[in-house]
Amino acid sequence: MAYPKNYRYTKEHEWINVEGGLATIGITDYAQHELGDVVFVELPKPGAKIELGKSFGTVESVKAVSEIYAPAAGEVIEANGELQNTPEKINTDPHGAAWLIKVRLTNAAELSGLMDASAYEAYIAASGKEASA
């Protein structure tokens, strides 16, 4: 699956996409592939504050429960309610319909510390090699 050029990526495999002052956050295709079949997602309620680098929710697969870390600080405007009933969407459309939360960012400058698509692809290729070494 291609990594959208306009998204930014974290080392913990979250993506963030800013459009018109509102940021959408999700997990990457690499992350969903590593997790396996997703069975449950735990997300913050609208109004909750998220902090850069801190966990704001969990994704539970048949293998493990993983934390989701905030790529930037902000206030949650909306959580993707669809995922409560269809968490498996994370496996099929992680970069699109299976977004997790929409956030009003506190400081958009925080995004400059993140990777762009080509840097992220290089990053996961390198970690893949490390894992198989």
Partner 1 sequence: MRYLPKSPAERQEMLAAIGAKSIEELFSSIPDRFRLRATLDIPGPYSEAEVIQYFKDRAAENSKGYTSFLGAGVYNHLRSVVTDAIIQRGEFLTSYTPYQAEITQGTLQAIFEFQTLMCQLTGQEVANASMYDGSTATTEAVLMAERLTGRQRVLVARSVHPEYREVLKTYAKNSGLRVEEIPFTASGTVDANALQAAVKDDVAAVVVQSPNFFGVIESYAPLVDVTHTAGAMFVVAIAEGVSLGLVRPPAEADIVAMEGQSFGLPPSYGGPFAGVIASRDRFVRQMPGRLAGQTTDSEGQRGFVLTLATREQHIRREKATSNICTNQALCALAATVHLALLGKEGLREMAEQNLSKAQFALSELLKIPGVRRTFDAPFFNEFTVELPRSVKIVNGHLLRDKIIGPLALGTPYPQLTKHALVCVTETTTRAEIERFANALKLALERPI
Question: Shortest distance, CB of residue 65 to partner 1, whole angstroms?
Answer: 5
Phi and psi at residue 57, to the nearest 5°: 180, -175
Question: Shortest distance, CB of residue 108 to partner 1, whole angstroms?
Answer: 29
Q: SS3 for 40?
A: strand
Q: What is the DSSP letter of 110?
A: G
| Of the residues 65, 119, 122, 126, which one makes contact with partner 1 according to CB under 8 A | 65
Question: Shortest distance, CB of residue 38 to partner 1, whole angstroms?
Answer: 11
**Helix/strand number for the chain, H first, E second:** 4, 9
Rounded Cα–Cα distance for residues 58 and 66 (Å):
5
Options 26-34, 56-64, 90-98, 122-130: segment touching partner 1 (CB under 8 A)? 56-64
11-50 residues near partner 1, rule: CB under 8 A: 40, 42
The answer to whether residue 54 forms part of the interface with partner 1 (CB under 8 A) is no
| Of the residues 34, 60, 78, 88, which one makes contact with partner 1 according to CB under 8 A | 60
The answer to whether residue 61 forms part of the interface with partner 1 (CB under 8 A) is yes
E strands present in 54-100: 55-61, 65-69, 74-79
Q: SS3 for 98?
A: coil
Give residues in contact with partner 1 (CB under 8 A).
40, 42, 60-65, 67
